[in-house]
């Protein structure tokens, strides 16, 4: 049974809101989305307000004091002009923030117009996360993306014209060999956009996606570990040479333009997630909502919680999570917090070229980041 009240030691300062609508589902997508050309904007805003009211009542906080806001999806840019300002008004009923807040909204190039960019800027959005993924026409078609190779450039120009000076671009690497795509050319085209941030995602085949079915049926073959590593390391070297700081396993930023919202996740800070499939973390409890938009809306309309489940992290779980989160970001882990056995593991990593030391902290190298999951489990499991 979901409790009627959760005692929080710290009220979250970081808010994620999920927009569960897309024009179509991409071949690799496993997110909580519904394909539609006419998203039910009024119903979504009503549901967001209802969940925030419920969270306020259960959590016992009067108002949130926000440091970051992140609107993800799905495709937030599909909501059209006027919606972000309406969302701002909904949030203002439950939260306070000032001009220093980092307010990110995700966008797809085909739905991010000059008019929408100006609308978002007036609402308070000051950072855009743009889903480019690739500049190859064949790869875009294979993924099910709707923008052409020139779409990202037009979207970045729209953001700049609106005064938004913090833009991130997403790229996917390690596509199947049969898909004609030049990874080096994609990196070159991404750098031509002169954005402040670039995120990389290695392609994975989740079971519930079309790609997952293709792989299971033998109709598609993902690259082996060697090519995955080759493309990852190529990107690291290319972006490093262009002046980007590799501050997290998959993220690169111009100095001072790191994602503050995502960093809150990696630093194990409390955050609140609103919307279908959204996760929240109120240490030591993690909870998540139902993924289906219709069920999410119906529950809230009936005064019920949209929560699908929750877990309380055990000491061992929290140790593993802190190690994993620490190793994935550039600051690394404080060596002073490690046991003798754990230090021995770290010394072996150094001999293998997977880690190094700096200012009393252990930091994974790029080769080590390729082994992140394995090394985190290994370190968290070492005791004594």
The DSSP line for 109-139 is GGG--HHHHHHHHHHT--EEEEEEE---HHH
Cβ atoms 174, 203 nearer than 8 A: yes
- pLDDT, one tens digit per residue, over 336-353 is 888 888 889 999 999 999
Q: What average pLDDT does the segment 279-307 reach?
A: 95
Output the pTM of the full model.
0.93
Measured between alpha carbons, how far is 11 from 171 in angstroms, rounded to an integer?
34
Cβ atoms 361, 333 nearer than 8 A: yes
Q: What average pLDDT does the segment 304-322 reach?
A: 91
- pLDDT, one tens digit per residue, over 146-204 is 899 999 999 999 999 999 999 999 999 999 988 989 999 999 999 999 999 999 999 98
**Which of 300 and 379 is assigned the larger pLDDT?**
300
What pLDDT is attached to residue 10?
Answer: 67
pLDDT, averaged across the chain: 93
What pLDDT is attached to residue 339?
Answer: 85
Angstrom distances, CA of residue 16 to CA of 37, 86, 238? 23, 16, 31
Q: What are the residues facing 72 on neighbouring strands? A: 18
Measured between alpha carbons, how far is 188 from 93 in angstroms, rounded to an integer?
44
What pLDDT is attached to residue 145?
Answer: 87
- pLDDT, one tens digit per residue, over 353-377 is 999 999 999 999 999 999 999 998 8
What pLDDT is attached to residue 124?
Answer: 97
What pLDDT is attached to residue 3?
Answer: 34
Cβ atoms 289, 278 nearer than 8 A: yes
As assigned by CATH, the class of the 14-266 domain is alpha beta
- The domain locations on the chain are 14-266, 316-380
- pLDDT, one tens digit per residue, over 284-293 is 999 999 999 9
Element (DSSP H or E) covering residue 167: strand 167-173
What pLDDT is attached to residue 1?
Answer: 28
SS3 percent helix, strand, coil of the chain, rounded to 5, is 40, 20, 40
At 7, the pLDDT band (50, 70, 90 cuts) reads very low
What pLDDT is attached to residue 111?
Answer: 94
What pLDDT is attached to residue 383?
Answer: 60
Within 10 Å of residue 270's Cβ, how many Cβ atoms?
A: 17
Q: What average pLDDT does the segment 312-328 reach?
A: 88
Q: Which pairs with CB-CB distance under 8 Å and at least 24 residues apart come from 40-45?
A: 41/79, 41/80, 41/83, 41/86, 43/297, 44/19, 44/20, 44/79, 44/297, 45/83, 45/86, 45/87, 45/90
- pLDDT, one tens digit per residue, over 217-256 is 999 999 999 999 999 999 999 999 999 999 999 999 999 9
């Amino acid at each position: 049974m979901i409790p009627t009240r959760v005692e929080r030691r710290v009220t979250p300062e970081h808010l994620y809101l999920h927009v569960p609508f897309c024009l179509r589902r991409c071949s690799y997508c496993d997110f909580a989305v519904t394909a539609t050309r006419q998203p039910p904007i009024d119903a979504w805003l009503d549901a967001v307000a209802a969940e925030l009211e419920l969270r306020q009542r259960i959590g016992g906080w009067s108002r949130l004091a926000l440091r970051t806001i992140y609107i993800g999806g799905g495709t937030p840019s599909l909501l059209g002009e006027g919606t972000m300002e309406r969302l701002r008004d909904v949030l203002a009923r439950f939260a306070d923030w000032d001009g220093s807040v980092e307010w990110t909204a995700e966008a797809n190039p085909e739905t991010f117009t000059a008019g929408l960019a100006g609308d978002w800027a007036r609402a308070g959005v000051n950072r855009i996360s743009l889903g480019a993924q690739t500049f190859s026409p064949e790869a875009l078609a294979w993924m099910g993306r709707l923008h052409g190779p020139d779409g990202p450039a037009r979207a970045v120009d729209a953001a700049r014209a609106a005064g938004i000076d913090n833009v991130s671009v997403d790229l996917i690497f390690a596509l199947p060999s049969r898909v004609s795509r030049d990874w080096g050319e994609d990196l070159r085209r991404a750098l031509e956009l002169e954005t402040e941030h670039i995120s990389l995602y290695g392609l994975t085949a989740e079971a519930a996606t079309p790609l997952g079915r293709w792989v299971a049926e033998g109709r598609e073959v993902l690259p082996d570990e060697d090519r995955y590593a080759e493309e990852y390391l190529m990107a690291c070297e290319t972006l490093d040479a262009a002046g980007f700081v590799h501050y997290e396993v998959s993220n690169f930023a111009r100095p001072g333009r790191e994602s503050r919202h995502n960093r809150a996740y990696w630093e194990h800070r409390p955050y609140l997630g609103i919307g279908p499939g959204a996760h929240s973390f109120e240490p030591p409890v993690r909870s998540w909502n139902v993924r289906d938009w219709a069920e999410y809306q119906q529950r809230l309309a009936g005064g019920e919680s949209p929560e699908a489940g929750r877990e309380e992290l055990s000491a061992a779980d929290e140790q593993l999570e802190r190690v994993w989160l620490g190793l994935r970001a550039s600051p690394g882990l404080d060596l002073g917090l490690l046991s003798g056995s754990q230090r021995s593991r770290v010394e072996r990593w150094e001999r293998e070229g997977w880690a190094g030391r700096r200012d009393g902290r252990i930091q994974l190298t790029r080769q080590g980041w390729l082994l992140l999951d394995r090394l985190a489990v290994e370190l968290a499991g070492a005791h004594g």
